[in-house]
Every structure is written in C-alpha cells, then in structure tokens.
Chain A
Amino acid sequence: MTSTAPAAPGRSRLLQERRTVPDRGFRVLVIAAAYVVLAILAGIAIFLVLKAVPALHKDTANFFTTFAWNPDNTPAQFGIGVLAYGTLVTALLALVIAIPVALGVALFIAYYAPRALAQPLGYLVDLLAAVPSIVYGFWGLLFLRPYSAGLQTWVARYFSWTHVLGTSTGTVGQSFFLAGTVLAVMILPIVAAISREIFLQVPQTQREAALALGATKWEMIKWSALPYARSGIASAAVLGFGRALGETIAVAIVLSTNYELVSKLLSPGGNTIAANIALTYSDAGQVGTGALIASGLVLFVITLVVNLVARAIARQSTPAGSVV
C-alpha cells in the first residue's frame, strides 16, 4: 500500500523542513477523512444495536431459533429463522445458476471471442450490472414469471420426487426459484467480470506451453487456466453470494412472501431479511421496527462474514508464475 509513497518523510531532513502550514493542514484533513469512514461503520453498528436491543428484550421467543415473525403482537414473538433461511436459500440458488453461466461468459471473453470484440462484449455484460434492481424486480414479475411458469410446471411435474424441486400448493410462480433466477441475473455481471480479469491474468507462457504440447483449447483451459484461476473464481463466487444476500427490492417484488419455512423451491412463498424490511417497515409498530432493525443487523453480520471469507480466499491465491 505504501509502496507508491515517495521517499519516506522523516528520513530526509530537507523534505521535512518543507512542511508548511497548509501541508500539515492537508495531512490532517486526509487523516480526518479516514476517521470519518471508521465513524460511519461504527455508527452503523452502534445505531443498529441500539435500536434492536429494546425490541429484542420484548421478544418472548428465542430470536435465533423461532420460526415466526409477529413482533407487534402482544406478547411479541419473532425469530430470524425463517428470514435467514430464505435469504440463504435464494442466494445459494442464485449462485448455483449464475456460476456456470458466468464462467462461460468469462471464458468466452478471455479466450474465445475475437480480440477486437472482447472489450465491447465485456462491456455489454457489465451493462447488466447497471440495470437498477427495481427494474429487475419489475421485469422478473411481469416477464420472467410467465415465461418461467412453463419451465417450473414441467420441473414440478417430473422432479417433484426430489421434494426440493416440487411445489406444495400445486401452483408455481412467485417462488424461491423465481427469486433465485432474478438474483442470478443480477450477480452474473460481477462474478463474470472478476473471473474474466483472473483468466486474463493467467500467464501467457503457461497457456502457450499447454497449446504447444498439443492440447486442445479446452485442455489448455483445464490444465493451465482453471488451476491458476481457482481461488480467484472462488472469491468472485463468494462476493456474488454476498451481493445476492443483501439484494432487497427485486426479491421483495418477485416473491409472494409469507413466514413459512418453504422447503419446496417451486412453491410460492418464503421471505428474505432484506425483502421483509422493505415490505413491512411502513406498517411496523414500535417493536416491529426494532425487530426489523435487529434483522438488518443479522444481515449486516452475515454479509460481513461472507465478504471476509471472500477476502481471505482472494489473499491465499495461487502465486503468479507457479507451474501447476
């Protein structure tokens, strides 16, 4: 980080003497800005905890193990279980759908597309990230739902024996599956963009060595590129997962929410932490608002952990130039 900093001040007396008042002022200003970032994060943690605790005190059920959400009842009864479950399931589903496609896109742009087209095509995929989430939600509700209904009905008919790929109500539609699909489209660009960068970083010598040994393109990818890019791809996937966890509006629009533990992915219903906040905060009473803030705190902690994992994976990446 400090590698770009010029000759370390303090070592050279001459440079130190040139420290004028405006110079010191600027230094203080810059450091103050760094403290502001820390203050904002501290503020988020403090205020969420502060507002969540009174509601949690009124909670007559166990916040972590209860599968119900009735914070404004007397006595209040709510737990994060159902919401956390839905959040994780939709995000996982999104990841399962998005990763293969994102890898295909990244490979296509890095290795298959003609050189001149690679950058514009990559930009086209990046544009997916520019579409506002509210538009994704609207599109998912009015376009994807009817179009995916056929697929969902078909899957439900032939795969309901798996339990997971079934529906309990006999109908399909605004299900975890639909929400997961919309989320998959939303996290696709980030996963694809990071993987693409990693594929482009694979040393050319390694790729050419494989090709020179007579490998086909796929064998080159399998032997040279994928081992090199593995940890980068994993980190991209985890980052995408984090995005999917926190996505609010698209899920709030697409899902027909309830507080049931939906285990069949094609059944309408279920809920996520973020969607629940967006949909119910305006009707929530005092305890209800506190409960929502508590759920937001849980979401904050989950995404924090997920992002730390992504960071840790990225850091222990394959050292450049190592022959795998």
Chain B
Amino acid sequence: MTAATLDQGTQAGLSTRRLSRWTLLGVLVADVLVSLGLFAVTPLQGRADFGVFVLLVYLALQTMLSISVEGRRKAVDRFVLAVVVGSFVVALLPLASILVYTSVHGAKRFDTTFFTHSMRNVGPNDPGGGAYHAIIGTLEQLALTTVIAVPLGLLVAIYLTEYARGRFGRFVSFFVDVMTGIPSIVAGLFIYALWIQTLKLGYSGFAGSLALVVIMLPTVIRSSEEMLKLVPPSLREAGLALGMTKSKVVLRIVMPTALPGIVTGVMLAMSRVAGETAPLLLTLFGIDQIVNDPFHGPQEALPLFIFNEISRPSPEAYDRAWTAALTLIIIVMVFNLLARLFVRFASRNRGSARA
C-alpha cells in the first residue's frame, strides 16, 4: 500500500489514475450552482465578482481533487493550464469590452450629419455637429506623414541592409533604435520647439505631420529592414554577376522581392500613427471648422476631436466623442486588417512572382 501511494504521489505515470473530463465538468457545474446560492443569500454581489468567485473556487476544487487523485505534479500542471488559459481570456476582455462599448455608444451618432458636418457654430451642449473636419484633417495628415516617412525610411533601411558597414552603420542602427523609443509627446515637443517656437511657422496640419514622421520613421525603417534582410544574397549576386550596378540590383531585384513585406510594414505603421494624439496636441492647435489646407493655420484631427469632446462633459459631446472613437478605431483596424490580408495574399502569390 505504501508503494502504491508513493507511486501516485511522485509520478504522473501513464497508468496512474486520471481525472476524467466529466468529473471536472461536474465540479464546475456544482461550483456554479453553489456560488449562485451564495450570491443569492450572502452580501456577495456583482456579475464580475461572480465570475471571479466561480473561477477561484473551481481552481481550488480542481487542484485539491487533482492532488488527491493524480498526485502533486499533475495537479500543478493542471493549475498552470488553468492560469494560462485564464490569462489569455483576461487579456482579451479589454479588447472585447472596448470594441463592444465603443460600438454601442458610437452607434448613437453614427449618422450622415456626423460625417458631413463640422463643429462650426455648434456649442458644447448642442446636439448635432460632426467630425467631418477632423476626418479630413486626419486623412490629410496621415497622407503627408506617409509621403515623407516612407521614402525616407525606405532609403535608410536600404542603407542599413545594402550599404552600411563598419562603425558608422552600427552607429546609425543604434540611433534608429533610440528613435523607436522616443515617447510621442516628446516628438510633439520637438516640432513645437522647432517649428512653432523657433521658426515661428505656426500651428498647422503639416506641423502635426512632421511630429508624426518622427514616430513613424523608425517603425518603417525597422520593418523594411527586416524584409530586405530576408531577400536571399544569391539574388543579389545573380544580378551583380549579370553586370548590373549595385543601385540597379537594389531597385530592380531586392526591392521588388521585399515589396509585399514592406507594404505590410508601412500599413501597420500608418495604423499606429493614425491613432496618435499627443504629438498633434502640441502642433495642430485644433479648430472647429473645416480646414482643407494642411499647410496654413490650425487643423483638426480625430484623436484631438475626441480629446476636446471628452473635456466637455455633456451627454451630446460624449456621444460625439464615442462616435469619433468608433470612426478612429474603424480607420485604424481597416489599415491593420488590410496589412495582414495583404501579407496573406502576397505570400500566396509569391511562388509565381519572381525569382
């Protein structure tokens, strides 16, 4: 008998007893029923509290049962499994809650007025008003940012993979890393100090774009660099062997091969930049009316619009903020999804593409 208990206690053997799925399900059902009873009788209450309570009790019951039947090692394994699955669910809760909450509240003002009107002559407590001016601003600033950051970032990535060598190459690579870590508000402060305070060029959509470039550039460089590195050296050598110049090899062979990955990286970078608020706060100034010209005078952007509407604590303003938040999420997610779909599409066609 001692031998048997010892065996059970130390080994998660294949022949030892195991808890069946049905036993565990039974434990869960019993747990839920007892907890329901407890929540009905005792002062415990709340839906979230109930969920947490049920889970903790289940975890305790399962562990005790498992120790007694399967031994300590198996019990620990089961416990970890539950914790790992639990943390994954916990991680998805905020995402689900943000998406649902924003959709529900944002749907209220998701109407044509919102997408065709600005906030001109609309008071904080007035109903109506829209974010047309903010959407225009965001799209223009995003386009300007991309137009500046992508070519520059690509060139730097090409430098790092194809041309850099020795100390200066490592030096540049190091500072790209440094740039990746710059807080977005610092990027905003930089453009504020340079563009608005020193050069006195004033608030504008373009100033906002410049701040966004500082955020977007390192992301574009790093993702493009990764993609260029994946291009097999044999392709480059083949081009050189045919007598192509280095620049031609880069532009005609390396770039086209890496293009799908680069496009994906660019779109992910755009989706990140589109949601930035902090750099715009210091560079756009914000305005209630439609400004189509991003180069002169203050402009609005969606994140800024949300920020302003939140600071007006009226139900109407909050509704507008929620709808703007929903719009922003949709824009960002569309870019994000397109990027991922593009990867899938491109990798499916890669076989027939080149090389």
Shortest beta-carbon distance, B332 to chain A, in Å?
5
B124 contacts the other chain (Cβ, under 8 Å)? no
Beta-carbon contact of B278 and A139 below 8 Å: no
Chain A residues near B276: list those with CB within 8 A: 132-133
Q: A43-B190, A48-B193, A134-B303 are in contact. Are A217 and B77 (CB under 8 A)?
A: yes
Shortest beta-carbon distance, B179 to chain A, in Å?
6
- B309-334 contacts to A, CB under 8 A, are 310, 318, 321-322, 325, 328-329, 332-333
Beta-carbon contact of A104 and B83 below 8 Å: yes
- How far does the alpha carbon of A32 sit from the alpha carbon of B276 in the complex, in Å? 28
- How far does the alpha carbon of A292 sit from the alpha carbon of B278 in the complex, in Å? 14
Q: A125-B92, A130-B332 are in contact. Are A311 and B177 (CB under 8 A)?
A: yes
Nearest to A188 among chain B residues (CB) is B91
Cβ-neighbour of A6 out of B172, B184, B249 (below 8 A):
B249
Beta-carbon contact of B333 and A112 below 8 Å: no
- B246-298 contacts to A, CB under 8 A, are 246-251, 271-272, 274-278, 281-282
- How far does the alpha carbon of A8 sit from the alpha carbon of B184 in the complex, in Å? 39
Q: A104-B84, A135-B98, A281-B282 are in contact. Are A219 and B189 (CB under 8 A)?
A: no
A68 contacts the other chain (Cβ, under 8 Å)? no
Shortest beta-carbon distance, A104 to chain B, in Å?
3
Chain A residues near B183: list those with CB within 8 A: 245-248, 274, 299-300, 303
Cβ-neighbour of A216 out of B73, B168, B184, B272 (below 8 A):
B73
Chain A residues near B102: list those with CB within 8 A: 135, 139
A147 contacts the other chain (Cβ, under 8 Å)? yes
Chain A residues near B184: list those with CB within 8 A: 246, 248
- A249-292 contacts to B, CB under 8 A, are 249, 253, 274, 277-278, 281, 289, 292
Cβ-neighbour of A249 out of B48, B217, B277 (below 8 A):
B277
B97 contacts the other chain (Cβ, under 8 Å)? yes
- How far does the alpha carbon of A34 sit from the alpha carbon of B95 in the complex, in Å? 38
A155 contacts the other chain (Cβ, under 8 Å)? no
Beta-carbon contact of B97 and A307 below 8 Å: no
Count of chain A residues near B, Cβ 8 A: 99
Nearest to A113 among chain B residues (CB) is B88
- Please indicate which of the listed interface residues B88, B163, B184, B276 has the most CB atoms of chain A within 10 Å of its own CB: B88
Instruction: Kindly state the interface size class of chain B when it binds its partner.
Output: 35 or more
- How far does the alpha carbon of A188 sit from the alpha carbon of B93 in the complex, in Å? 12
Chain B residues near A292: list those with CB within 8 A: 189
B37 contacts the other chain (Cβ, under 8 Å)? no
Shortest beta-carbon distance, B10 to chain A, in Å?
11
Beta-carbon contact of B172 and A38 below 8 Å: yes
Q: A19-B245, A34-B159 are in contact. Are A51 and B236 (CB under 8 A)?
A: no
Chain A residues near B231: list those with CB within 8 A: 4
Beta-carbon contact of A296 and B162 below 8 Å: no
Beta-carbon contact of B278 and A304 below 8 Å: no
Chain A residues near B240: list those with CB within 8 A: 6-7, 15
Q: A37-B217, A304-B181 are in contact. Are A132 and B186 (CB under 8 A)?
A: no
Given contacts A139-B94, A299-B183, 17 further A-B contacts (CB under 8 A): A15-B246, A22-B245, A29-B155, A33-B155, A33-B159, A38-B175, A107-B84, A108-B87, A125-B91, A128-B91, A128-B95, A130-B275, A139-B97, A216-B12, A246-B181, A249-B303, A308-B178
12 A-B pairs, CB-CB below 8 angstroms? A23-B246, A26-B247, A51-B197, A105-B88, A108-B87, A124-B95, A130-B336, A133-B277, A134-B275, A142-B101, A248-B277, A299-B186
**A-to-B contact residues, CB < 8 Å:** 1-2, 4-9, 15, 18-20, 22-23, 25-27, 29-34, 36-38, 40-41, 43-44, 47-48, 50-51, 100-105, 107-109, 112-113, 121, 123-125, 127-139, 141-143, 147, 150, 185, 188, 192, 214, 216-219, 221, 242, 245-249, 253, 274, 277-278, 281, 289, 292-293, 296, 299-300, 303-304, 306-308, 311
